[in-house]
Amino acid sequence: MREEKPSLKIRVRYPYYTVNVKKGYYMDSIQLLKISEEVKKVPGVLEALIAMGTDTNKELLKMLGFSYEDLNVTPNDLIIAIGAESEDALKNAVNTAERLLEEGVGETREYYADLDTALSKNPDISIALISIPGQYVKDVAMKLIDRGINLHIFSDNVPVNDEIEIKKRALEKNVLVLGPGAGTVIIKGVGLGFANKVNVGSVGIVAASGTGLQEVSSLLSEIGIGISYGLGVGGNDVKNAIGGIMTIKALEFLQNDDDTKVLALISKVPDRETEEKILNYIYNNISKPIIINFLGGHARESAKGNVYFTYTLHQTILKITKVISENKYVEARNKYLLSFDELIRLADELKRELSGSQRFIRGLFTGGSFVNETLVILRELVNDLYSNAPIEGVAELKNPFKSMANSIIDLGDEVFTRGRPHPMIDPTIRVNRLLEEANYDDVAVILMDFVLGYGSHDDPVGAHADAIKHIMESSKGKKIIIAHVCGTSEDPQNVAEQVNKLRSLGVIVMPTNALAAFLAGLIVTNKSIEKLKYVYDGLIEV
């Protein structure tokens, strides 16, 4: 046996190794650490160093036993050094490294434990998204406003006085405050909070209604009409206490934005004085076409040529496309509209499966605007209509946990969400309520919304599948479940898949919330066909 002379240098030799350099290839050091770790896990790999070509790393390279001749590498170049037991292992490791470099391993996080440090290290913040408990928002908001940072305040339960103070200061500092209670903001395709992945385009939306914004932006995007900005202003801004100041500022922003060609304003009905204020502002300052949708509002004739009024989100979508182009309008009608006759036929078909005692609708919604829109439609079609978030002409459901007659429930209401995640994230409460409602002999139709997008549960339909299956297979008499899915094909939860899943469970899926509500109403209504057509023309057609 040949004896090796003891060497003074500690040198580890690898049977197979490679040292490669990617010039000018910079990557974050934490990412590189993770990649090195992953590559070391490849079977047969003895050592791996994937790091930037700093002097220290070059030393480390030598220390780890990778010899190289005049390695021409600067700190801006990436070194990939791998030592393995076999040629195959080496090849696998190199492939793994290449793949991970391209795809990245997990995410790098930039994380701060306190706001002051975060701000001092990041001087160029465009916008801050705040989702801390309402009573603490003011201090954080003021600090950010004073630095000229625009705000998206997702938090609700911010005391009214705090909201007033925040918005006053924001006006002084020329800063936009979206919220409090704004679920959704879209900025040039980037979604903050609960938002869908939509195309970027020329429609700018101001919305005091999160899911309203989601519905309109999603449905427009799916027919190729993009959104420039979706500015959620939260539910309180249109109350007299606040006076719509940020709604108006948001409209001003869009009017002055070169990329925005068409505006939309979506809101539940503002307080009277505020409504006048907002409309006054619009008539005097907005020259671009604007579609105003006060959900549940009174009929209005437009006083100016560029101002249009709609009463449902559904109509808003159709109207926007009409203003943009005839082609888009036709496309929207094909995709999102069912004719009155079609709906009557469908309703008749479904009615046949019901037993005599079944006569009520139960709506279980995660989106407040969908509750709103549903009530706007159903109050024309049924009597005995209740909700825990009632509008004019609808009775208040005294106990939100116990439905009565026709009940449309807003599960995002505080009474359900205190100390719990929002139902768009956590389906537990709705799944249980669904099973409960399906047990009643007098319930005919159950209405639901499924909201996709960032922030939402990663498989909303899947989360309800067992419950729905149980209901459909139950011998307790047929329940008609009607749903609509709010989302886009780019959302993390593929909209087509969600729709298919629902259909395969026997759920009737409508393209818009308004159509779902209208269909439900048709099934249980006792109004005359003329009245029904009248409602259709007023709230569904444009």
Partner 1 sequence: MSLAEEIEKANETAVDRMMEAQALWVDIGEARKIIPGFKDMMLTHAGPPVTWNKASGPLRGALIGAAILEGWANSPDEAVKLFERGEVVLKPNHELNAVGPMAGVISPSMPVIVVKDPKYGNYAYSNLNEGIGKVLRYGAYDKSVLDRLRWMHDELYPALKVAVDFIVKEKGGLDLKSIIAQALNMGDECHNRHMAATSLFINEVMEYLIKADLPEDQLLRVLSFMRNNTFTFLNFAMAAAKVFTLAGHNIKYSTIVTVMSRNGTEVGIWVSGLGNTWFTAPAPVPKGVFFPGFSQNDANPDIGDSAITETAGFGGFAMAAAPAIISWVGGTVDYALEITNQMYQITHTKHRYFKIPYLSFQGTPIGIDIRKVLKTGIEPKLNTGIAHKEPGVGQIGAGIVSIPMDLFKQALRKYAEVYGIT
Partner 2 sequence: MDKRIYKLKVNDKNELNILNIGLEIFYNDLRKQGVNAIHVAWKPPVKLEKDIEDILSKVM
Residue in the structure block whose two tokens are 């082609």: 327
C-alpha Rg value of the chain to the nearest Å: 29
Q: Does 54 bind partner 1 (CB under 8 A)?
A: yes
Task: Indicate whether 30 belongs to the interface with partner 1 (CB under 8 A).
Answer: yes
87-to-21, 101, 393 alpha-carbon distances in Å: 19, 21, 77
Residue 28 vs 349, nearer CB to partner 1: 28
User: Is residue 58 within the footprint of partner 1 (CB under 8 A)?
Assistant: no
Measured CA to CA, the distance from residue 293 to residue 457 in angstroms comes to: 28
Residue 47 parent element (H or E): strand 45-52
Q: Where are the alpha helices (DSSP H) in 242-339?
A: 245-255, 272-285, 313-324, 326-336
CA distance 53 to 72: 9
Segment near partner 1 (CB under 8 A); pick from 33-41, 127-135, 370-378, 498-506: 33-41
Binding segment toward partner 1, per CB under 8 A, in 52-60, 253-261, 334-342, 508-516 = 52-60
Q: In what order do the strands lie in the sheet with 262-268?
A: 190-193, 184-187, 227-232, 200-208, 262-268, 290-295, 307-310
140 binds partner 2 (CB under 8 A): yes
> Is 444 among the residues that bind partner 2 (CB under 8 A)?
no
Interaction residues for partner 2, span 220-249 (CB under 8 A): 249
**What does 33 bind: partner 2, partner 1, none (CB cut-off 5 to 8 Å by kind)?**
partner 1
Counting contacts by CB under 8 A, is residue 115 touching partner 2?
A: yes
Among residues 112, 357, 392, 531, the one that binds partner 2 under rule CB under 8 A: 112
User: From the CB of 164, what's the least distance to partner 2, in Å?
Assistant: 19
Q: Which residue has the tokens 């259909």?
A: 503
Query: Which does residue 26 bind out of partner 1, partner 2, none, counting CB within 5 to 8 angstroms by kind?
Result: none
Q: Smallest distance, Å, CB 169 to partner 1?
A: 24
Max CA separation in the chain (angstroms): 105
187: partner contacted, choices partner 2, partner 1, none (Cβ within 5-8 A by kind): partner 2
CA distances from 531 to 381, 391, 516, 537 (A): 9, 21, 18, 10
Instruction: Please report, as a single letter, which amino acid is at residue 265.
Output: L
Q: Does 472 bind partner 1 (CB under 8 A)?
A: no
Tell whether residue 258 is a contact of partner 2 (CB under 8 A). yes
Helix boundaries (H) for 379-528 = 414-417, 428-437, 460-473, 495-504, 513-524
Residue for token pair 């399906």:
438
Q: Which is nearer to partner 2, 78 or 128 (CB)?
A: 128
Q: Please, what is the minimum distance in Å from the beta carbon of residue 361 to partner 1? A: 48
Cβ neighbours of 34 (radius 10 Å): 18
Distance CA 243, CA 233 (A): 12
Restricting to residues 64-123, name those near partner 1 by CB under 8 A. 109, 111-114, 117
When asked if residue 133 is in the footprint of partner 2 (CB under 8 A), the reply is yes
The answer to whether residue 172 forms part of the interface with partner 2 (CB under 8 A) is no
As measured in angstroms, the least distance from the Cβ of 250 to partner 2 is 9
Q: Is 60 in the site for partner 1 (CB under 8 A)?
A: yes
Among candidates 196, 518, 214, which has minimal Cα distance to 368? 214
Would you count residue 193 as binding partner 2 (CB under 8 A)? yes
Calculate the CA 322 to chain-centre distance. 25
Look at residue 29 and give the partner it binds from partner 2, partner 1, none, a contact being a CB closer than 5 to 8 Å depending on partner kind. Answer: partner 1
Q: How far apart are CA 453 and CA 414, in angstroms?
A: 22
Q: Which is nearer to partner 2, 48 or 203 (CB)?
A: 203
CA 449, CA 516: separation in Å to the nearest integer? 9
Q: Does 37 bind partner 1 (CB under 8 A)?
A: yes
From CA 144, how far away is CA 148, in angstroms rounded? Answer: 7
CB-nearer residue toward partner 2: 64 or 127 = 127
- For the chain, what's the residue count? 542
Task: Decide if residue 29 touches partner 1 (CB under 8 A).
Answer: yes
Selection from 266, 250, 236, 244 nearest residue 187 by Cα: 250
Residue 529 binds to partner 1 (criterion: CB under 8 A): no
The nearest distance, CB 138 to partner 2, in angstroms, is: 12
Q: Is 175 in the site for partner 2 (CB under 8 A)?
A: yes
**Among the listed residues 226, 462, 492, 506, the single contact to partner 2 using CB under 8 A:** 492
Please give the residue ranges that form the binding site for partner 1 (CB under 8 A): 28-30, 32-34, 37, 54, 56-57, 60, 109, 111-114, 117
Please give the residue ranges that form the binding site for partner 2 (CB under 8 A): 107, 109-115, 118-119, 122, 124-133, 136, 139-140, 144, 149-150, 154-155, 174-176, 187-188, 190-193, 197, 249, 252-253, 256-258, 425, 454-455, 492
